[in-house]
């Protein structure tokens, strides 16, 4: 899918969020000439309601108020442009680009996230994306807690013609990860994507499990995992931010894949997550198709939102 084609799909899919806060902003600003405190407070409320997060919205409007004081914003059009630019600035803080290159061997991606966020499907879409870039990809089914997770990954592996390393359900996840690293080295694989269990209610166990998986992988491949990708469901809004904080405590998260952006009016959560955690969004999912997981481009995202 070409960049222009994806942009028009992104615009179309972001419709719920755009109808939410951008349309409300436009309606509020229509016919208004004067930028006063009452107007700014109403705008703040609109952004908070789109799940942009109170702390993030306050930061944006502190800057907006400074601009108003310095007489930099003469009308409501300039005000809207300033808000748009500040949102983009927040999203661009940590670099979003990921090369998937490791000169010392396979590049290892450890995928984490609670069950039900679309983790397995995201792994499949990521494998599809990397294959299209000419990478040799391998999947590792280290979510041994759910037999369905292993089966699902295996089905995707067959569909995508990508090897899957697995053990029996309830096996030690780190043993599967170890075998995955060994197989990747033998088969000269470029990128290994490792699935993990998505249960947060046993947080202590989860932390220990993830630490063990990391230790075992780095013994076979230095500095593995090179990316810890957290999959979040955009429709859960602020709950996604809580999950991100918890997983980040369990194992430092280096990137985020945000799914189901097409089904939510709370797309502002993207800004909140990036700003509060300083973790870049690497990929966004805007639909069911394999091509609907794409690298996140902050300027493209903001354009699609505001157009």
pLDDT per position in the chain (307 positions), as tens?
566 676 777 777 777 777 777 888 888 988 887 899 999 999 999 888 888 889 999 999 999 999 999 999 989 999 999 999 999 999 987 777 788 999 989 999 999 998 888 899 999 999 999 999 999 999 999 999 888 999 999 999 999 999 999 999 999 999 999 999 999 999 999 999 999 988 765 566 778 889 899 999 999 999 999 999 999 988 887 888 888 888 888 889 999 999 888 766 667 888 888 998 899 999 998 888 898 898 998 888 888 888 7
Structure token pair of residue 30: 């229509």
Report d(CA 242, CA 109) in Å as an integer: 22
Report d(CA 64, CA 231) in Å as an integer: 32
Report d(CA 197, CA 112) in Å as an integer: 7
State the pairing for strand pair 107-112/164-165: unpaired
Enter the pTM of the model: 0.91
């Amino acid at each position: 899918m070409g960049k222009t084609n994806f942009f028009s799909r992104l615009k179309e899919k972001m419709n719920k969020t755009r109808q939410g806060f951008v349309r409300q902003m436009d309606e509020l600003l229509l016919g208004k000439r004067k930028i006063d405190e009452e107007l700014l407070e109403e705008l703040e409320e609109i952004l908070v309601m789109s799940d942009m997060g109170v702390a993030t919205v306050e930061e944006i409007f502190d800057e907006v108020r400074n601009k108003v004081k310095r007489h930099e914003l003469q009308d409501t059009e300039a005000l809207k442009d300033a808000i748009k630019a500040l949102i983009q600035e927040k999203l661009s803080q940590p670099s979003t680009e990921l090369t998937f290159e490791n000169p010392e061997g396979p590049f290892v991606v450890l995928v984490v996230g609670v069950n039900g966020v679309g983790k397995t499907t995201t792994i499949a879409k990521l494998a599809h994306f990397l294959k299209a870039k000419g990478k040799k990809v391998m999947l590792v089914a280290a979510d041994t807690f759910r037999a369905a997770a292993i089966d699902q990954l295996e089905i995707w592996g067959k569909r995508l013609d990508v090897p899957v390393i697995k053990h029996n359900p309830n096996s030690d996840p780190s043993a599967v990860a170890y075998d995955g690293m060994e197989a990747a080295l033998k088969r000269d694989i470029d990128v290994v994507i490792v699935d993990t269990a998505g249960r947060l209610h046993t947080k202590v166990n989860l932390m220990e499990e993830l630490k063990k998986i990391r230790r075992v992988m780095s013994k076979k491949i230095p500095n593995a995992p090179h990316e810890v990708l957290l999959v979040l469901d955009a429709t859960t809004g602020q709950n996604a931010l809580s999950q991100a904080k918890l997983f980040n405590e369990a194992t430092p998260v280096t990137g985020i894949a945000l799914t189901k952006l097409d089904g939510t009016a709370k797309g502002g959560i993207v800004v909140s997550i990036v700003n509060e955690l300083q973790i870049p969004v690497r990929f966004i999912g805007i639909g069911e198709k394999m091509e609907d997981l794409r690298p996140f481009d902050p300027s493209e995202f903001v354009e699609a939102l505001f157009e």
